[in-house]
Structure 1
Amino acid sequence: MTANDEPLVSVLLPAYNVEEYLAKCVDSILQQTYQNFEIIIADDCSPDDSGKIADKLASKDARIKVFHHGKNMGLSAARNTGLNHASGDYITFVDSDDWIEPDYVEYLLRIIQGTDSDIAISRNFFTSRSREQVTEDRITTITPEDMLCDLLYNRIHVGVWNRMYKKSLIGNSRFRLDSLTGEGMQFNTQVVPKASKVGMGLRRVYTYNVDNETSATKKPNVRKQAYGAVATMDMIREGLKPRSKRLDDAVEYQYFTTALYALTHLIRAKAVSENRDFYKKLVRYTRSTALKTLSMETSTTQKIKSLLVAVSPTLTVSLAIFWRYGLGRKQRV
């Protein structure tokens, strides 16, 4: 098979305030064992030098295409820009502060073609602090409902990175601009139900950067991460179709964990008093739903957490915050 016979893969990168990481990310793509790809960088009117760096990289390789937003429009809009300009038969998303292994594209493409699936995904990924590879890979296929349940029960990452989609499956689906957070979950619940089957592997080929202190996941933002997360779950609860009893339970569990996530950000931001009604709503909902989740497809650890939430959502969240950002941080130093 010649390069011209090989399918084109579009690698989509949103770029905003990533001047420190962008070149490394792009270089990891250029070093791929599979070379028939295009890189589409959507510069979301970044105030740093991300846009200039992207242009410089594009001047050195014709496969890199850069599109600049005239104003900051957010992550969803940047990813939509990538989708609107993608020419590939397959689409994969890479966050521009992360990086990928040399066989990332080849591995996911081999899964999607070898299993005749519409989506390929690895269940695992590296982080910038954890580099242990799995000892044995295994390629399987699952149903779209299985993948949605994996997403909604937090068994796999909810985002769009570390996976590959047939462009024909995505079609006209786009990221919703009114999703302040959880845009990956919202996109997947649009696209995954249209798949015939999903190919899944175990090998780690993607590195998620946990050391970017400017990342949106690092700092509490009540409007985006509390109100926005719940609003996104309202969209999913209303819009996910077709549905089954199994998916109804999975959606309810994700709504439950999202409410706890929102509660976490209220408490971390010390914003409970000025958001008292929202806080009370979250506490009432999580406490009343906690015991219902015990009959769902949850792990033993998840069931223990649900039991604690049934006693006190606020105390459960506060202890988790202390462990992760207080005691837990001190232990890692």
Structure 2
Amino acid sequence: MTLISDSAKPAVTILLPTFSRAHYLPFALESALQQTFQDFELIILDDASTDDTEAVAARYVERDSRIRYVRHPHNLGITRNWRFGLEAASGEFLCFLEDDDVFLPDFLEKMTAPLRRDPSLILSFCDHWNMDASGSRLHARTEELSRVFRRNILAEGVVADLVQTAILDTSIGITAAMFRREHLRSAFIDDRALGGIDLWFLYQCAKTGRGGWYLPERLMEYRLHSAGMSHSMPALMGLGHLFLYEEALKDPANARLRPALRKRFAETAASRGIHLLQTEKPMEARRALRLSLRAKVTLRALTACALTFLGMHGSSATSTIR
């Protein structure tokens, strides 16, 4: 076990953004306190919760001096809450712990190790378990998502292309990563990327030209919820991802990735348009679908765009689009 150093600053800052999840918060906090690596500070960033979050946090602050609690009187939203945390951090390294997720005991120890060995790295990342709302591991789903996000083909070590790994393969989970804080900037968190702020943050890290190290172990547990996503979230995510891909397409350094980025932009715009059509917003849907078609002509986007001219009948027919 690595104990707290004599340095005034901790080795790791754990940022824990939260909003009204008092029932899950103790599991996240306990997982941090049970780390084999103990040289850390933990900052709870309460975005104006309306439940018992403050009372839960107070118990942990009283119990452990490494825990700080910040409550915003008004809801800032995820981007400003993250930015506040980034500016408040003092550790050499930084990681995010979601209020409903869990670090396994050796997460900090194993994730800081490659960054300590190699100062050229800006981040390390690992695979992770998926669990259901009650905390039971979903073994088949975990294996499936490791394949979907291509972590199953990554070897341990420095990844060959961090931009592709971060924003095209989307192999890096923001809460399954550790960052070298000195290279992070507040500008890495952009309000225009809302809904895709995690990918934008990772893209900014990759753009520094510094390396990323992959550790093929499952060192944290990510909670999947079967319900609870608001109707606005898919459209919001689409906007954030469109901003990301549009900016990435402008960067001359990404010339080799442009065909894949253009394809991803088209797919994302089409999905956003179809979602808007399903929620009976045909004019907004048509604008998104035209963006998709300008990037790449596909039967999916053409069909959806045609349906935007059919009013309510078009909205009800979106189930036929694959």
TM-score normalised to structure 2 length: 0.78
Gaps of 5+ in 2: 132-136, 147-151, 308-316
Cross-structure match for 1:286: 292
How big is each residue's C-alpha offset from its partner over 1:184-207, in whole Å with a ceiling of 9 and x where there is no partner? 122222232114211112111121
CA 1:14/1:211 → structure 2, altered by over 3 Å: closer, same or farther? same
> Residue 157 of structure 2 aligns to which amino acid in structure 1?
T
8 Å contact 1:181–1:229 — kept in the other structure? yes
Give 1:1-333 correspondences, 5 Å limit.
3-4=4-5, 8-116=11-119, 117-122=121-126, 124-128=127-131, 129-131=137-139, 138-143=155-160, 146-157=161-172, 159-211=173-225, 213-214=227-228, 218-221=229-232, 225-226=234-235, 229-230=238-239, 233-234=242-243, 237-238=246-247, 241=251, 243-267=253-277, 270-272=278-280, 275-287=281-293, 289-290=295-296, 309=300, 312=303, 318=319
Structure 1 contact 115–141 (Cα < 8 Å) conserved = no
Q: Tell me the amino acid that sits aligned with residue 259 of structure 1.
A: A
Structure 2 partner of 1:304 = none
CA distance in 1, matches of 2:188, 2:154: 32
Letter in structure 2 aligned against 1:121: F
* 1:34 Cα deviation from its structure 2 partner: 0.8
Assess, with a 3 A threshold, how the Cα gap between structure 1 residues 311 and 71 changes in structure 2: closer, same or farther. Answer: closer
Residue correspondences, number? 293
* 2:314 alignment counterpart: none
> How far apart are residue 106 of structure 1 and its match?
1.1
| 1:271 positional shift | 1.8
Q: TM-score, normalised by structure 1?
A: 0.76
How far the C-alpha of 1:290 sits from its partner, in A, is: 4.6
Shift of 1:63: 0.8
Q: Secondary structure at the match of 2:183?
A: helix
CA apart distance, 1:175: 1.6
Tell me, in whole angstroms, the C-alpha distance in 2 between the residues paired with 1:15 and 1:259.
30
Report percent identity of matched pairs.
Answer: 23
How big is the shift at 1:71?
Answer: 0.3
Give structure 1 stretches of 5+ with no counterpart: 292-306, 322-333
Q: CA RMSD in A?
A: 3.2
Distance 1:263 1:121 in 2: 33
Alpha-carbon distance, 1:151 to partner: 2.6
